[in-house]
Structure 1
Amino acid sequence: MQYNICTEFIQNFMGLLVINNEFLIYAASILADTNEGLSGSEICKFCVQYAVRYEKSITYTQQPFKKGTSSINKAQALETNLACFEPKEQFVIIQDLCDLEKFINNSKVQELKLALVKSYSHLAPQKIAEQILENVNQVRHWLDDYPETKKHYESAFEKKNNKIYERNLLDDLRYSFESLINSILRTKKSLENLKSELGDFLDKYKINVEVKNLYISTIFDFFTKYQNENVKHNACFESIEIDFIFNQTTVLMEFLITLHKQQY
């Protein structure tokens, strides 16, 4: 009995360390779709690049794709090549392929990427920067008192941690911050219309005028303007800006929650 329990535990644990074959087949069918997927030559090019990077031998490096005396389709070739890599390498390859410019507006590929990070994020090499993790965790804990705010912040956190849906991530940050201010001020206004009331709130706590002006200008001359011009109505931002915006939002929220907690 003890042996069986140990065996089952080991099998379950090992299952966490692999991407199952069914998922690889699914990923390959989306990425190598007949009409909208990678071409045969692109599959060869990308797979060879990753084979060199990870020092692996792969099955298919050139067209036509053949197995024995018969030909196979490009999705089968991609799936077979993916199987030649380690699970963490497979995660990176699938994620990278999903991020190709040709797939930006492909909803099936975006669904694939979301499925990848939901099921296999433990295999991802990238994690949120350590230097902001402490502040982020503090804010996440405090947001238990602001459930609507926490919902959007957690959504942004998950997307940032797994590098997906960057525009939606920035939207989540805006909604999170806006709902926090509304919760604290007990109003339902849009962020753009909260300047006067937020100023009164800071005055209530006798915040130094220089700090107050910096805080207000950061929100309305930078944060709101950035969101409206580069996120809400357009998608004119660079991926490198994501960390900065996430950090700034966290700091803005942390300061506001700290003040609000003083009245309890």
Structure 2
Amino acid sequence: MDSHFITYATDILGDTQYGLSGSEIARYSTEFAVKYNVAIPYGTYPFPKSLPNKRTALRSNVEKFAGEQQFQFIFWLCELPQLKEQESIKTLKLRLLTNYGKQYGMINIPNSSIVEETYHWLNGYPKASEKYNEGLTKFEANLFERSSIDDIRLSFELVVKQILKNDKSLENQISEVGSKLKEKDVSPELRNMYVKLMDYFTKYQNTYVKHDDRVNKNEIEYIIELTSLMMKFLIKTLG
């Protein structure tokens, strides 16, 4: 894992006011050291007076583990009951999963055939790809669920903006998308279906996500997959 990320993570986990105590850092570090048979510098408390602070102790301990072990240790600490509901910890967990979740098998995207194909088609759309990945990570981590489909919506909007070379909001792109599909000889039935889906999609977002924070969890995966298919079709047809 990147050293800067480890510093960021241990600063939050060892925060003086909201983070782990020195004795907890020693105890949990020792528990993982025994699990992985790793020698750590600060496994007992109190720490030496020469040590600047408990965050330094935690960082020094984490640095002794291998990459996946570091990931597992930080993730496990984020799940501790005394920490997991804090907003700073939720943000840390999200960034941990965003940066390393797929690498270490912690992110299993829904309906992988659809989503993996969409990742491929988003290669030429870096901003949209970034938001798409953020939305999927939030969904898989059960974090910021309203925000997860808002990220997916923004990804779709960024794709449309790049294809049509303008800066309009998604709801103001519908008629132009229909015109472009017509230029590409897309059948009237499919063209009308796509335009109607865009219309309903933007109305759903504005009603249940964008303003009122009323998200039915059973609908989130469907919205992700539907948006993925819509983006994929648009990129293949107009991109």
Q: Does 1:181 align with 2:160?
A: yes
C-alpha separation between the residues in 2 aligned to 1:93 and 1:50?
7
Q: CA deviation at 1:38?
A: 3.1
Q: Does 1:135 align with 2:120?
A: no
Equivalent in the alignment of 2:10? 28
Q: Does 1:255 align with 2:233?
A: yes
Cα distance per residue 1:78-114 (max 9 Å; x no partner): 446535644202113324545754332x3x9847964
CA RMSD of aligned residues (A): 4.8
Q: Is the 8 A contact 2:51 2:57 kept in 1?
A: no
Gaps of 5+ in 1: 1-17, 145-149
Matches within 5 A, 1:9-158: 20=3, 24=6, 27-39=9-21, 43=25, 54=35, 65-67=45-47, 74-76=54-56, 78-79=58-59, 82=62, 85-95=65-75, 97-98=77-78, 101-104=84-87, 106=88, 110=91, 114=95, 124-127=104-107, 129=109, 130-132=112-114, 134-141=116-123, 144=124, 150-158=125-133
Q: Is the 8 A contact 2:134 2:151 kept in 1?
A: no
Identity across the alignment (%)? 32
TM-score (norm 1): 0.58
The one-letter amino acid of 1:126's match is: M
| Closer, same or farther: CA 256–248 of 1 in aligned 2, 3 Å | same
Question: Higher Cα Rg: structure 1 or 2?
Answer: 1
Tell me the number of residue pairs that the alignment of Structure 1 and Structure 2 aligns: 228
| Closer, same or farther: CA 27–161 of 1 in aligned 2, 3 Å | same
Q: Bigger CA drift: 39-48 or 195-204?
A: 39-48
TM-score (norm 2): 0.62
Gaps of 5+ in 2: none
Q: Bigger CA drift: 75-84 or 160-169?
A: 160-169
C-alpha separation between the residues in 1 aligned to 2:126 and 2:210?
19
SS of the equivalent of 1:66 reads coil
Q: Is the 8 A contact 1:30 1:109 kept in 2?
A: no
